[in-house]
Amino acid sequence: MKIIYNGTIVNEQSARRGFVVTDGDLIAQVGFGDPDAHTLQACEDVVDAQQGLILPGVIDTHVHFREPGLTAKATIASESRAAVAGGVTSFVDMPNVVPPTVTLEALEQKQAIAARTSLANYAFYVGATRTNVPMLIHEVDYSRVPGVKVFLGSSTGGMLLDDTQALTTLFSQVPALIAVHSEDEALVRASLHEHQLRYGHDIPMACHPAIRSEEACWQSTRRAVSLAERTGARLHVLHVTTARELQLFGDNQLSPSKRITAEACVGHLWFDSDDYARLGARIKVNPAIKTGADREALRRAVAGGRIDVVSTDHAPHLLSEKNEKYLKSPSGMPLAQFSLIAMLELAAMGCFTPAEVVQKMCHNQACLLGIERRGFLRKGYKADVVVVRPEPQGWTITDADVLSTCGWTPLAQATMHHRVARTWVNGVEVYPRRPHQSPAQPLRFSAR
């Protein structure tokens, strides 16, 4: 058995000095105060948390790890290594790879790659197209798949789904969560055309939130919520970016009766449109990072109930690609390695509490998808545990710290006051040690 002690357990809306005992891949005990001599003697492995934070492993339910087909940018191996260095012990990957994950065969291929190479627990969304809706309804095993990803705005791999009848059938009959990327494609195209007429090939990066506008997000999300209300679908709106959209979501806390839920991403909580002048394409993402007022509204929604979970939309690209002009520069940025400490930094700034960070990055992620026995520090749950060390003097992130294949982060030069010290997946230390054999397991889902 292993004991992790001399730290503050942040778990289930409280922060208390305590310890965690693990036995194999399970949590055997969560105790408060200091462990007694008998408990310490019963453990072969004694880990001193050195007055740090002891947290459940982060569950990041929105990543793009680029494998198969885009492995020059990233692989499941490289990005899971970066993720566990950031305290992320489980991830859910999106389907826009090559080939796209829109068939059972493609889904099985990704699961097999992860089984061989991932350091973190894993699962994969299946993507919706105009032609695969019958498969999504009748053939997918949703105890192994968290749900269906729907691109209501442009995407790679032919996954833009803007056919009204197909969407209605999908929302009415798929027996699982439907996660949507919500932007109105026609409005985005029209705005892009206007900017091309004005700037030609030299569109400034600062125009990105005007091209992928508040109105494009509002109109698409409004329609998706309306369709979900009519059909009874279990709808999850990914990476909400605007204050206006927030009024479409209830402010009640996540529960089994909450059928329409929302996600915010770390980048949209950290940056605002003023940062384009400094960072340019490094913060070009879809939907776009918008105004300071939008960012503040999102932060308040995380502290309340309108935003249910916080993820990363981790999407690495090579800097050589990002440094292209606007029309060729791809959207996306890598954040999984630094998401937890960035959220704790925002907590230190008073945006929310550390307990709310754990609720939105760990507890609610598990509850949202019905992930079995993860996301909490509880006896009998999987031993996914993170120790975070305070850094009172602060430390500065650099691109040299990045473990992702892409080798850069938009958070370079940001000063943090926490650092992930150790991470365990299913009771096996995966950071900073590298295990001889990966302990990662496929995620399992119960009805939600």
What CATH number has the domain bearing residue 153?
3.20.20.140
Number of structural domains the chain divides into: 1
Q: Specify the pLDDT at position 235.
A: 98
Q: Specify the pLDDT at position 153.
A: 67
Q: Specify the pLDDT at position 67.
A: 98
Whether 116 is covered by a domain: the verdict is yes
Residues spanned by the domain of 302: 58-369
* Residues recognised as catalytic: 313
Whether 45 is covered by a domain: the verdict is no
Q: Which residue has the tokens 């090559």?
A: 98
Tens digit of each residue's pLDDT (9 = 90 or more) over 273-311 = 999 999 999 999 999 999 999 999 999 999 999 999 999
Q: Specify the pLDDT at position 448.
A: 58
Cβ neighbors of 141 (< 8 A, separation 6 or more) are none
Asked if pLDDT for residue 159 goes beyond 80, the answer is: no
Whether 134 is covered by a domain: the verdict is yes
Enter the pTM of the model.
Answer: 0.97
DSSP assignment of 1-37 equals -EEEEEEEEEETTEEEEEEEEEETTEEEEEEESPPPH
Q: How confident is the model over 96-106, as a mean pLDDT?
A: 97
Q: Specify the pLDDT at position 158.
A: 65
Q: Please check whether residue 435 is in contact with residue 424, taking contact to mean a CB–CB distance below 8 angstroms.
A: no
Q: How confident is the model over 247-269, as a mean pLDDT?
A: 96
Q: How confident is the model over 388-410, as a mean pLDDT?
A: 98
Token output for 278: 């400094």
E strands within 88-192? Answer: 88-93, 121-124, 126-127, 147-151, 177-181
Tens digit of each residue's pLDDT (9 = 90 or more) over 36-51 = 999 999 999 999 999 9
Whether 27 is covered by a domain: the verdict is no
Whether 111 is covered by a domain: the verdict is yes
Q: Residue 150's closest CA among 107, 180, 182?
A: 180
Q: Specify the pLDDT at position 191.
A: 98
Q: Specify the pLDDT at position 154.
A: 62
Q: Specify the pLDDT at position 156.
A: 60
Whether 257 is covered by a domain: the verdict is yes
Q: Residue 271's closest CA among 286, 298, 292, 285?
A: 292
CA angle in degrees (0–180, nearest 5) for 210-212-216: 105
Asked if pLDDT for residue 141 goes beyond 70, the answer is: yes
Q: Please check whether residue 9 is in contact with residue 362, taking contact to mean a CB–CB distance below 8 angstroms.
A: no
Q: Which amino acid is at 437?
A: Q
Cα separation, 260 vs 273, in Å, equals 28
Whether 280 is covered by a domain: the verdict is yes
As a whole number, the mean pLDDT across the chain is 96
Whether 214 is covered by a domain: the verdict is yes
Q: Please check whether residue 289 is in contact with residue 272, taking contact to mean a CB–CB distance below 8 angstroms.
A: yes
Q: Specify the pLDDT at position 224.
A: 96
pLDDT classification of 160: cutoffs 50, 70, 90? confident
Asked if pLDDT for residue 365 goes beyond 70, the answer is: yes
Q: Specify the pLDDT at position 162.
A: 74
Q: Specify the pLDDT at position 447.
A: 66
